[in-house]
Amino acid sequence: MNEQTLKERVLGKSGIAITEIGLGLWAAGGDQWGATDDQEIFDAIDYSLDSGVTFFDTADVYGMGHSEELLGQAMQGRRDRFIVATKIGWRDFDGDNGRSAYDTVDKLIAGVESGLRRLQTDYVDLIQSHINFREPTMEIFLEGFQRLQRDGKVRAYGVSTSDFDYLQAFNADGGCAALQIDYSILHRMPESDILPYCQAQNIGVIVRGALAMGILTGKYTAETRFGEGDFRRSWHEDPEQQAIYLDDLAKVEALRPLADGRTLAQLALQFTLAHPAVTTVIPGAKNPRQMQDNVQAGLLPPLAAAELAHIDAIVPPGGGRKIWPA
């Protein structure tokens, strides 16, 4: 157990206090980030709990439910120590027709209840829409989430998107409690409009992608190759994405002098927490060793103004690019 304590922030209008460092469980699904070991995922969750982490984020589509199942097993006998967020939308997406299969409120509610069974719990703290199609899906998701909230099966609801117009529409009645968004040193576009809007609307911000899919850890080079089943293979197979990847690697090298007394990954996590709109950051971890590095970022002194100015000189506020869809 760490003697230091991770700080908490309130997740927007939900009123739920969560730790600044959470655990993202996308990789736990084992189907898009290369091979994973279930026991190491359990160990990473245990390490997180022992370190004071309270916030755990998953989705129905991660491993087609496997990530939710693992988290559900880990929670048995200690559900009260977990603040759980999950997402719904992509698992039953009809790619041929470009539509969500959740075309009625009843189907949406049934989908959330399936997730509750995988998680072995009767409620989740936060449910999030994982897709951003305006008509008619948004109205179905909103009505379904609100009914689930009234029934006590979800405490709050939100959306995972980088589309500002969609976020505004989703929050038209002011009920959206949280936004999950891709935001990092290398992808600062949300600073221009989305993050100020969230501050004004009291929408909590959950940051995914803070390590830019691993680029900001500093461990990748132009020669790095990713294995079978890892979506990052496109970074060296697609010419357009490769050009962005190589440019990002150059920015990482320029950031290295700032990592004095911390890892580059910790620098990247601290950067996101420096923005006043951000509630928590949820880096993934396949094992306790990776989670240890992440937790430490929440225990280090915050970045100084001079360090933030140095980052601004490398990637200006509101600038950057991303190499993974919203």
d(CA 283, CA 44): 12
| DSSP reduced 3-state for 155 | strand
**H helices within the chain, ranges in order?**
38-50, 66-75, 105-119, 139-150, 164-170, 194-201, 234-237, 239-255, 264-273, 288-297, 305-314
* Amino acid identity at 235: W
Query: Of the residues 62, 102, 183, 220, which is catalytic?
Result: 62
Task: Please answer whether residues 72 and 121 qualify as being in contact, where contact means their C-beta atoms are separated by less than 8 angstroms.
Answer: yes
To which H or E segment does residue 125 belong? Answer: strand 124-129
Residue 257 makes CB contacts below 8 A (sequence gap 6+) with none
In whole angstroms, how far apart are CA 36 and each of 29, 32, 41, 43, 275? 8, 10, 8, 12, 32
Tell me the torsion sign for CA atoms 70, 40, 54, 90: negative
| Token pair listed for 72 | 């559900």
Is 62 labeled as catalytic in the residue annotation?
yes
Which of the residues are catalytic?
62
